[in-house]
Structure formats: C-alpha cells, structure tokens
A = this chain, B = another copy of it.
Amino acid sequence: MKTANKLTIINDPIYGFITIPNGLIFNLIEHKYFQRLRRISQMGLSYLVYPGAHHTRFHHAIGCVHIMQKALEKLEQKGVRVSSEEKEATMAAILLHDIGHGPFSHAMENSIAEGVHHEQISLQFMEQLNDEFNGNLTLALKIFKGTYHRPFLHQLVSGQLDMDRTDYLKRDSFYTGMAEGNINTDRILAMLNVKDDELMVEEKGIYTIEKFLVARRLMYWQVYLHKTSLVAEQVLVKVLKRAKYLTESGQVLPASKALSYFLKKKNAEGVFDQEALEVFSNLDDYDIISAMKSWCDADDFVLSTLCKIIIDRKLPRIKIKKKPFKKEFIQEERERVKVHYDITDEEVDYFVFTGTLTNQAYTLKKEAINILTKKGKVIDVISASDQLSLKALSKVITKNYICYPKHLN
C-alpha cells in the first residue's frame, strides 16, 4: 500500500483485486486503530473446527468497502444520485463498522468487558478518529447512526441485506470451506435499487434473497453455532471469568498491560471512558492467547485446566437438544466432575454448564427487506413471496446445550 498519487491495489482471494481510493479511506486503513484489526480473528475460535478460518476483521472490513463501492456504482447506473461526499462517508462508515470489536468479542462481552457493546466502542473510536481527522467523519457518523436523511445509505451499512452481511457470509463460507454458504454477491448487488431513499430489492431478485437467507441460516447452524466452536467459546468465557475472579481475589496473573487493565477494571456501564478506550485499542487476540498459554502453568487448578483445554485442543463434550436437559442429568454430571477433580461446587460451574442457542434467519418486523415490483410498488419480501418459504425463515429456533468434560476415567 502506498501513499502515492494512485490507487492502492490489494489482492483478495474472493474478489480478485480490491482497489482502495487514496485519501480518507486509505488514511483510515493506515491508522493504528484499524491496523489492530489485523490481529483480531473474524470468527473467534472457529478455526479449531474449520482450520482455514483464520481470516481477520481487517480483511472483512476491506472487503466490505469493496462491495460497498460496487453497490453504489450499480445504484448510480440505475439513476440513484449519490454525491462523492456521500460515497466516501458510506465507505468510511462500513470500513469502521467493526472497529470496536475486541478479541473474541462475544466471549469478552460475556466476561471481562461486560456492559459495553462492541457497536458502542466502534462509535467511540469513530468519534475519536473524527477529531483526529478534523471532522472529516461527521457525515460517516450520521450514516452509521442512521440519522442521515437518506436511510438507504445506513441500510447498506447495517440492515437485513447490508454489505456487512453480504461480505461476511461470502468470506466465512469461503474460508471455512463450507461451500454451501456461498452467496452470489454480484447478483445481490445487481438486484438492489432505491425508492424514496429507502433500499429496495427488485422483484426479479426474490429467489436471490431467498437463497441469501437460506445460506445465512445454514451458516448459523453449521458454522457459527457449530457445537465445537460453541464449546470452545464457552470455555474461553470461563477462562476469562476465572482470571478476573482470581485477580479480584488479589492474585497477580501474567498478562499483557492491556489485558491486566481489563482483568482489574470494574465493569463499565454502557460506555468506556477515555483511558479504557485507549487501552482497549491495544488489546487483540495475541493478548488473550498468550495469556492462556502462560496460564497453562498457573497454580490455580481451574484456570490451568481450562487453558490447556483450549491450547492443546482437548475440548469438553457438548450435547444439543430441542428440549432443556433434565435437572437430574445435569446434577449427575456435576457430581461426577466434582469427585473426579476434587473441587468445590462453585468450581464445578466452570466445567459443567448449560445454555440456549437461538437463531432467526429473517426478522419479520424491524428492518424488513423491501421488494420493488416491476410496477413500482413496494412490498415486504414475505408478502411478495407468498408461494415461497420465507415465512418459515422468520420463525425463531431455540436449542439447549450442555457441556461437560469427557474422558474422565
């Protein structure tokens, strides 16, 4: 990547070449806040199941910019007027939409960084960058927050058919090798249109949308909620909770400066203060994994055992069912583990635990996907396709799981 007066070209296994326009977008990519995303895995610990899935949030964000650029070009070809300021701002907004993600976000948000959502952190980083870039991100911020008067720009950044989802479904399907999750980006982009500043899908794109939603659900159940990824992530939550508990109890665990800060920190209420934000900007996967590697030798039995489970990939057993597990069964497993490990009831919670999974491919009410008919009418995709299976896709599915150690003998 160069600052010279020409386009910067990035090789991408998915789109071939990605061309980054110089100026704001290029300078944002060069910023250390954004470079940090190179060290944040897009799919958390999923690589323990899909060894190809080592792609990063950096790469995803760049991919989003690429298809956003294409989407806006397509819309312009169809007569939708988009000013160059709007274009740059929308591209900046999608570039930065995930900048607040921490390492293994979902695990962190359920352990040491409870109380602050990654979208909030993205917003805080964007505001900070807006200061550094002399207000050049003001419009991007409006679009990101959905307060700009042309809603379709926000819908392209964040909605049921946004460029974020379009890229991550394609990218995650590609890197996991789960070819069935693949979606036809070109066709999706070709089907977009705008009416009264709202994002629409042209009527002939209805099968494409259905396929998109089916692919999305498939990716949820077979990849994102894959039981082995799930169990790995849950163990990671337990590791971080235990480390925080031990730290609060006065123990000093080896950890990077940034991770130590968050182990000690009281949970924030909704937002980070300036200090927390700055420290957070130094936190990435390497802090977490390195800490776990050293904690494999920790004195605390619970912590060291949990860390080895992840580092050496000796994952617990997980079972998934439609109905909740019986209390007796859970109690039995707890007892076995308690005796086997010789640990307390509280400590058993780290090894035997239950929870629920839920997924809904299409949300009926908010952020509907609008279909623009050939005659110019606007209808929701569900009613547009009464013969189709979309209604079924909007049903909420809930499943129950239990995790407990295997190979106890």
Binding site for B on A (CB under 8 A): 7, 9-14, 16-17, 30, 32, 35, 38-39, 47-48, 50-52, 54-56, 58-59, 62, 77, 174-180, 182-184, 186-187, 190, 207-208, 210-211, 214-215, 217-218, 221-222, 256-257, 282, 286-287, 289-290, 293-294, 297, 311-313, 387-393, 395, 397
B residues in contact with A186, CB < 8 Å: 16-17
Q: Identify 6 new A-B residue pairs, CB closer than 8 A, beyond the known A11-B176, A286-B293.
A: A10-B51, A12-B51, A54-B56, A180-B183, A287-B293, A392-B392
In the complex, chain B residues whose CB is within 8 Å of the CB of A217: 207
**With A55-B52, A184-B180: A39-B289 Cβ-Cβ less than 8 Å:** yes
Bound together, the chains give a CA A279 to CA B10 distance in angstroms of: 38
- Please determine whether B187 and A179 come into contact, CB atoms closer than 8 angstroms: yes
| Given A187-B180, A286-B286, A388-B392, CB of A215 within 8 Å of CB of B211 | yes
Q: Which residues of the partner chain B approach A312 to less than 8 Å between Cβ atoms?
A: 32, 35
Residues of B near A395 (CB, < 8 A) are 387
Q: Which of A30, A51, A183, A297 has the most CB of B within 10 A?
A: A51
Measured in the bound complex, the distance between the Cα atoms of B391 and A389 in whole Å is: 8
| A22 vs chain B, min Cβ distance (A) | 12
CB A401 to nearest CB in B, in angstroms, measures 15
CB A153 to nearest CB in B, in angstroms, measures: 23
Determine the distance from Cα of A393 to Cα of B204 in the docked complex, in whole angstroms.
Answer: 19
> How far is A189 from B287 in the complex, measured between Cα atoms in Å?
42
Q: How far is the CA of A164 from the CA of B387 in the complex (A)?
A: 26
**Bound Cα distance from A208 to B181, whole angstroms:** 10
Question: Is A389's CB under 8 angstroms from B389's CB?
Answer: yes
Residues in B neighbouring A391, C-beta threshold 8 A: 389, 392
Inter-subunit contact B13/A177 (CB<8 Å): yes
Query: Which residue in B9, B12, B35, B208 is a CB contact (below 8 Å) of A180?
Result: B208
Residue in B closest to A188 when the chains form the complex, CB atoms? B180
CA distance A11 to B32 in the complex (A): 34
Which residues on the B side are within 8 Å of A32 (C-beta)?
311-312
Q: Name the B residues within 8 Å of A182 (CB-CB).
A: 182
Complex: chain B residue closest to A15, CB-CB: B177
Q: Assess whether B13 is in contact with A176, with CB atoms less than 8 Å apart.
A: yes
- Complex CA–CA separation, A294 to B180 (angstroms): 42
Q: How far is the CA of A158 from the CA of B49 in the complex (A)?
A: 29
Contact present for A190 and B52 (CB under 8 Å): no
Which residues of the partner chain B approach A35 to less than 8 Å between Cβ atoms?
A: 311-313
Complex interface: chain B residues within 8 A of A48 (CB): 38
| CB-based contact A177/B11 at 8 Å | yes
A151 to B228, CA, bound (A): 36
Interchain CA distance A392-B47 in the complex, whole Å: 35
Closest residue of chain B to A212 (Cβ to Cβ) is B180
- In the complex with contacts A51-B62, A179-B16, A313-B35, A286-B290 CB distance below 8 A: yes
